[in-house]
Amino acid sequence: TAAATAAAQESLLNVCMDAKHHKTVPGPEGQLYGQCALWKENACCTANTSMEAHQDQSYLYNFNWDHCGAMPEKCKRHFIQDTCLYECSPNLGPWIDQTDTSWRKERILHVPLCREDCEQWWEDCQDAVTCKVNWHKGWNWTTGTNRCPQGAMCQKFRYVFPTAADLCEQIWSHSYRYTLHHRGSGRCIQMWFDPAQGNPNIAVARYYA
């Protein structure tokens, strides 16, 4: 029925995924830190999670950005922003997918990223260095943090990810999809937005729901 469809759509529009650090339901968080503050009106992350998202080796996932040497700040800010979007956004419902890993029951898959957000991420990370295409799996975790697996060579992002689409789509096993939609089009999720103008991703989630 139309009513059932409407209800199903509503349930996708303001929701937190069932994952490691997410709140069960979104709500205001006055104290969100740094780049995560964009979501303080309505967030799936706690203030503590937002603080940890900015640490080089946070307890969130013990993940080390600097696995091939120090990641440049202008690059790292995109990874912080990506973490904030993932942890804080209540607008990712249409792309939540069931997964069965030890640390989460749900993940995001094929979130349509705005072209500029993806291109800028790629531009700013050209000279960062990594040894892996997919950062979700295949690391050596014996020391408690991710190290490059045996035989993996550290090289610049521009060789590991020849295009912006390669970076956005492959780095987190297709959590994101590169699109040709522009910021403000209402057809793509923005990692970056001006909270004074409101959250543009609310309308995007509604469109895809």
Q: What are the beta bridge partners of residue 108?
A: 96
Q: At 136, list the tokens.
A: 């979700």
pLDDT of residue 8: 64
Q: How many domains would you assign to the chain?
A: 1
Asked if pLDDT for residue 121 goes beyond 90, the answer is yes
pLDDT of residue 186: 97
Is this model's pTM higher than 0.85 or not?
A: yes
pLDDT of residue 5: 67
pLDDT of residue 85: 96
Residue 7, domain member (yes or no): no
Q: Which carries the bigger pLDDT value, residue 61 or residue 87?
A: 87
CA–CA separation, 28 and 39 (whole Å) = 8
Residue 1, domain member (yes or no): no
The least confident of 55-69, 108-122, 133-147 is: 55-69
Asked if pLDDT for residue 3 goes beyond 80, the answer is no
Q: What are the beta bridge partners of residue 98?
A: 106
pLDDT of residue 20: 87
Asked if pLDDT for residue 59 goes beyond 90, the answer is no
Interval 96-112: pLDDT, tens: 998 878 778 889 999 99
Asked if pLDDT for residue 140 goes beyond 70, the answer is yes
pLDDT of residue 50: 93
CB 113 within 8 A of CB 177: yes
The parent domain of residue 198 ranges over 12-208
Residue 162, domain member (yes or no): yes
CB 158 within 8 A of CB 126: yes
Residue 22, domain member (yes or no): yes
Residue 4, domain member (yes or no): no
pLDDT of residue 6: 66
The gap between the terminal CA atoms of the chain, to the nearest Å, is: 16
Residue 193, domain member (yes or no): yes
Mean pLDDT of the chain: 93
Asked if pLDDT for residue 83 goes beyond 80, the answer is yes
